[in-house]
Amino acid sequence: MTAAFYTLGCKVNAYETQRIMRDFMARGFEIVPFGEVADVYVINTCSVTSLSDAKSRKAVAAARRMNPEAIIGVVGCYAEVLRKQGESAENAIKRNEKMRDIRAMADVICGTSDKDEVVNRVLERMSFAEDAPFFANRGEDIGGLHERTRAVLKIQDGCDDFCTYCIIPHARGREKSRPMSEVLDEAKTMADSGFSELVLVGIHISSYADGEARLPQLVGKIAEIKGIERIRLGSLEPHDLNDGFIAQLLKQPKLCPHFHVSLQSGSDSVLRRMGRKYTFAEYRHIVEELRKMPNSCITTDVIVGFVGETDAEFAESLANVRKCGFGKIHVFPYSARKITAAGKADFLAKHGGEVRNEVKRARAGIMREVAAKTRAEFLAAQAGRTEEIIIEKDGGYTRNYTKVKLVTCIIKLAASQIKDFTAIKMRTLKTRKNRAKCRPAKGETVKVQIFGVTSDGDACLGKLIEKKTAG
């Protein structure tokens, strides 16, 4: 039997899909790519915006088109949010008008709280659950479930903040940290499987706690595991990041200098309406403290067009975003969610109502122009640096998560193109044999010298200096 998986949304979803895949493999399923015909399709959904809802529905429809006879499982946040609105996930999805195109398509539906049951429910539908052999467990080798050179490790779930705009606490529930011993055991398994780089993820990882241990202590313990060379962090919440917490984090030599710290708005009055627990001045201080780690990259999320956002508030947010020198900004037009505080009629009446969609789109376009400019400035500043990358497909990522495309076997590269770092064009040896001779293997750690920026403005170009180790 074959099973295919499709994941929408965040790294937490990606991690959870991998765990579900292991459950299916343990029951004898062969995993195939989502684009192929399979006996079972599992879609791990996202509901952070209404667009995410729509993408989840489209993925289910695509699976049914690929194999009308397949069993389709829908798991994750979309199903959970609908269930929280007052009925079972199955009934809610089948009742909801926007889901009418997949009423007959989803055979098994689980939210976030019971997603680990999806394999059993699929087997029940197949009517051979008792005969299905269980020949592995979650602690077994995981190497086949990762497409890249880094492994994702979930340390925490849920959020207690309930920001007025955010649906995630409704989908994920309250904060729950995994025991440190359990996290360390899984990290050791990942290291034994050949992964030297781990990404610690969760919904609110800066709130991680196991007894007296907090995130900095967890990072320190993971760093002691043989074979782990890089530790990355998922998204951090600003109100957890006091000076002492940051100082403890920055002492960890294997911690990568890339920090995603969600700003959401550069306007203090908008932040208050959002229920965020900091001012822009406090946020900026956090950024400066994190930049004490050399060559740090700070990335963020910004919402435009939140309830009642005025032209003056947007201008304030735009100006303050410019001050931070972000390495990358994810810009989102505000998406109203009825289950949240900001989606309620009394909140809208109190704070000036919804911003018109055309205004949201215009503001998002302006903010994205600023994001593109700051991204270009950050990448240009990397030119001339010598960095280590772990080889993936055609390059890899530096410790501060700058993507570097490795340029090998160059025959011709105009000096003027190197000078201005824009729209670089080159000719390389085109035969597969010659490319193989020039390029290091996937998983190898190599030193590169960064010399330019790709024409799409989203990565740097680097040339090989030396190979360090085999991965």
Determine, yes or no, domain membership for 136. no
SS3 74: strand
> Can you tell me whether residue 199 is helix, strand or coil?
strand
pLDDT tier at 443 (50, 70, 90 boundaries)? confident
CATH of residue 62: 3.40.50.12160
CB atoms within 10 A of CB 196: 19
Which H/E stretch holds residue 234?
none
* H-type alpha helices, 85-132: 89-95, 118-126
* Residue 160: other Cβ atoms inside 10 A: 10
Read off the pLDDT band of 148 (50, 70, 90).
low
> How many C-beta atoms lie closer than 10 Å to residue 1's C-beta?
16
199 and 346 belong to one structural domain: yes
Position 108 scores a pLDDT of: 83
Is the model's pLDDT at 373 over the cut of 50? yes
pLDDT attached to residue 64? 86
- Dmax over CA atoms of the chain, in Å, equals 68
pLDDT over threshold 70, residue 269:
yes
* pLDDT, position 177: 96
Q: Domain check: are 157 and 112 in the same one?
A: no
Number of domains observed in the structure of the chain? 3
Does the structure show a pLDDT above 60 at 260? yes
Same domain assignment for residues 450 and 361: no
Please report, for the domain that includes residue 211, its CATH number: 3.80.30.20
Verify that 147 and 107 share a domain, yes or no: no
* Residue 421 lies in domain: 386-469
In a domain, 101, yes or no: yes
pLDDT for position 132: 37
* Structure tokens that stand for 387 in this block: 């960095």
- The β-bridge relationship of strands 30-31 and 2-7 is parallel
Residues 247 and 157 in one domain: yes
- The reply to whether 230 and 304 lie within a common domain is yes
Alpha helices (H) in 324-471, listed in sequence order? 345-351, 357-381, 415-420, 432-438
**Is residue 131's pLDDT more than 60?**
no
Whether 457 contacts 431, CB under 8 Å: no
Residues 154 and 6 in one domain: no
User: pTM for this structure?
Assistant: 0.80
**440, two tokens:** 């290091």
Angstrom CA distances, 39 to 1, 29, 102, 450, stand at 6, 9, 18, 46
Pair (192, 307) in one structural domain: yes
What does the angle CA 183 – CA 186 – CA 188 come to, to the nearest 5 degrees? 110
Final residue of a structural domain among 131, 162, 185: 131
Residue 105 has pLDDT above 70, yes or no: no
Q: 372 and 391 share a domain? A: no
3-state secondary structure of 328: strand
- Residues 281 and 237 both lie in one domain: yes
- Place 11 in a pLDDT band, splitting at 50, 70 and 90: confident
316 has pLDDT over 80 = yes
- Residues 216 and 183: beta-carbon distance below 8 Å: no
pLDDT at 14: 87
Check whether residue 305 and residue 184 sit in a common domain. yes
303, part of any domain:
yes
Instruction: State residue 84's pLDDT score.
Output: 65
Q: Which stretch of 219-233, 320-334, 381-395 has the lowest confidence by average pLDDT?
A: 381-395
Residue 272 and residue 171 share a domain: yes
The residue from 131, 160, 189 where one domain ends is: 131
Share of the chain above pLDDT 90, in %: 57
Q: Is it the case that residue 143 has pLDDT exceeding 50?
A: no
